[in-house]
């Protein structure tokens, strides 16, 4: 039986990086500030990976370490200071934050025009209003859509989004509506997940539950995009049981190698967009 086509993030990321290199503003070096408020080694690794991309793209990069012992106020104050700093054009909160720190509270202090991961209610509201052209789009949902679009036409398609979390599902669903898909959103209270998945043409999974979507749920011809990331015994896995889904679906994003590599690059595409939006707002010359 034919295996699902592997939808890889790297080729798309490489094209976007070439475009970023060509589109860098001639008169200023855009600066991304990444806030690390966690002792988790994985969070430090995510920041280091972005540093390498910034270096390759000739963009300015700052790691802003916040001691979790300083509590929510220290984090909020740092986000506010970066929002006010004219030398910083984009701000990213590297997640997860240390236990006891709340991302929703911190982003109240985040300038929406510097919100390069589209997390603020301002940017989510623009998306929900169908005004993506004015918004900074969250990178992971954007990556999911770009991968699906390489093999499927979203317009008129039936799409299911499994997960309504803040990083992925919450924004992905309205972004799919904006692209004329017919969208079903599933979550932990959904009664019949298998039926919802089977009814879709394109399946997006972002629940953080390894093995949630299995080969028994999918149909031949479906496109499956797996945004989930979990670490089991030191191995990074998604939410899709790839071993049983691959022989059935038409296309599947591998984990690792699918959504992840594209997400980090899209943060830098958003950094250039942030500079553009700040110029339009009269904040930069
Ligand atoms: P989240 O806040 O962790 O929420 C998980 C969502 O999944 C919730 O909506 C939850 O439902 C739903 N869910 C949990 N168990 C379920 C089940 N058995 N059936 C159906 N739905 C279920 O979500 P997130 O922050 O958006 O992250 C989602 C995943 O994406 C995580 O694995 C995260 O690590 C990953 N992620 C990947 C990238 C990347 O670059 N690839 C970036 C960011 C995040 P309720 O709402 O009912 O609780």
3-state secondary structure (DSSP) of residue 225: strand
pTM above 0.95, yes or no: yes
- Nearest residue CA, atom 4 of ligand 1? 165
Confidence grade of residue 1 (pLDDT, cut at 50, 70, 90): low
pLDDT digits (tens, 9 = 90+) for 227-255: 999 999 999 999 999 999 999 999 999 99
Among 203, 172, 252, which residue's Cα sits nearest to residue 9?
252
128 Cβ contact partners less than 8 Å away, ≥ 6 residues apart = 174
Contacts of 35 (CB under 8 A, 6+ apart): 64, 66, 75, 78, 79, 82, 91, 92, 93, 94
Q: Is 124 in the pocket of ligand 1 (CB under 6 A)?
A: no
Give the pLDDT confidence score for residue 2 in this predicted structure: 86
CA dihedral (158, 161, 167, 170) positive or negative: positive
Kindly report the protein residue whose alpha carbon is nearest to atom 31 of ligand 1: 208
pLDDT at 285: 77
Please give the distance, rounded to the nearest whole angstrom, from the Cα atom of residue 186 to the centre of ligand 1.
Answer: 11
CA distance 161 to 150: 18
| Residues 171-225 pLDDT 10s | 999 999 999 999 999 999 999 999 999 999 999 999 999 999 999 999 999 999 9
Closest ligand 1 atom number to CA of residue 95: 43
Q: Does the Cβ of 140 fall within 6 Å of ligand 1?
A: yes
**Residues in contact with 250: Cβ distance below 8 Å, sequence separation at least 6, in sequence order:** 4, 5, 151, 220, 221, 222, 223
138 close to ligand 1 (CB < 6 Angstrom): no
Pocket test for ligand 1, best of 167, 172, 254, 256 (most atoms within 8 A of CB): 167
Alpha-carbon distances of 10 from 36, 47, 139, 158, 263, rounded to whole Å = 25, 18, 15, 26, 10
Instruction: Please tell me if the CB atom of residue 10 comes closer than 6 angstroms to any atom of ligand 1.
Output: no
How buried is 130 (Cβ within 10 angstroms: 0-12 exposed, 13-18 middle, 19+ buried)? Answer: exposed
Q: Which ligand 1 atom is the nearest neighbour of the CA of 238?
A: 32
The model's pLDDT over 11-68, given as tens digits with 9 standing for 90+, comes to 999 999 999 999 999 999 999 999 999 999 999 999 999 999 999 999 999 999 999 9
208 lines ligand 1 (CB under 6 A): yes
Identify the burial level of 182 via C-beta atoms within 10 angstroms of its C-beta, where 0-12 means exposed, 13-18 middle and 19 or more buried.
middle
60: CA distance to ligand 1 center in Å?
31
Residue 23, φ and ψ in degrees, nearest 5: -95, 5
Rounded to whole angstroms, the Cα distance separating 159 from 196 reads: 9
Alpha carbon of 227 to ligand 1 centroid (Å): 9
The pLDDT of 69-87, averaged and rounded, is: 98
Output DSSP code: residue 246.
Answer: T
Q: What is the pLDDT of residues 99-141, one digit of tens each?
A: 999 999 999 999 999 999 999 999 999 999 999 999 999 999 9
Q: Are 64 and 124 in contact (CB under 8 A)?
A: no
List alpha helices for 65-138, DSSP H: 71-84, 103-106, 121-128
């Amino acid at each position: 039986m034919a295996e699902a086509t592997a939808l890889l993030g790297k080729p798309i990321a490489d094209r976007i990086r070439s475009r970023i290199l060509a589109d860098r503003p001639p008169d200023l070096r855009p600066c991304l500030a990444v806030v690390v408020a966690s002792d988790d080694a994985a969070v430090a690794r995510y920041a280091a990976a972005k540093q390498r991309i910034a270096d390759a793209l000739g963009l300015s990069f700052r790691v802003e370490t916040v001691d979790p012992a300083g509590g929510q106020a220290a984090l909020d104050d740092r986000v506010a200071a970066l929002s006010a700093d004219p030398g910083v054009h984009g701000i990213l909160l590297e997640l997860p934050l240390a236990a006891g720190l709340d991302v929703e509270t911190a982003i109240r202090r985040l300038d929406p025009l510097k919100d390069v991961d589209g997390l603020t209610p301002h940017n989510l509201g623009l998306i929900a209003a169908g005004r993506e052209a004015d918004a900074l789009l969250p990178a992971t949902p954007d990556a999911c859509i770009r991968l699906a679009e390489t093999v499927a036409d979203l317009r008129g398609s039936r799409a299911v989004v499994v997960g309504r979390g803040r990083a992925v599902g919450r924004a992905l669903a309205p972004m799919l509506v904006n692209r004329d898909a017919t969208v079903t959103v599933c979550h932990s209270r959904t009664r019949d997940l298998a039926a919802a998945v089977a009814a879709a043409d394109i399946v997006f999974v972002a629940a953080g539950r390894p093995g949630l979507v299995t080969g028994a749920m999918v149909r031949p011809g479906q496109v499956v995009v797996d945004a989930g990331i979990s670490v089991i015994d030191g191995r990074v896995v998604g939410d899709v049981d790839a071993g049983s889904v691959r022989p059935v679906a038409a296309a599947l994003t591998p984990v690792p190698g699918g959504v992840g590599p594209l997400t980090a690059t899209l943060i830098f595409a958003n950094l250039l967009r942030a500079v553009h939006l700040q110029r339009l707002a009269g904040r930069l010359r």
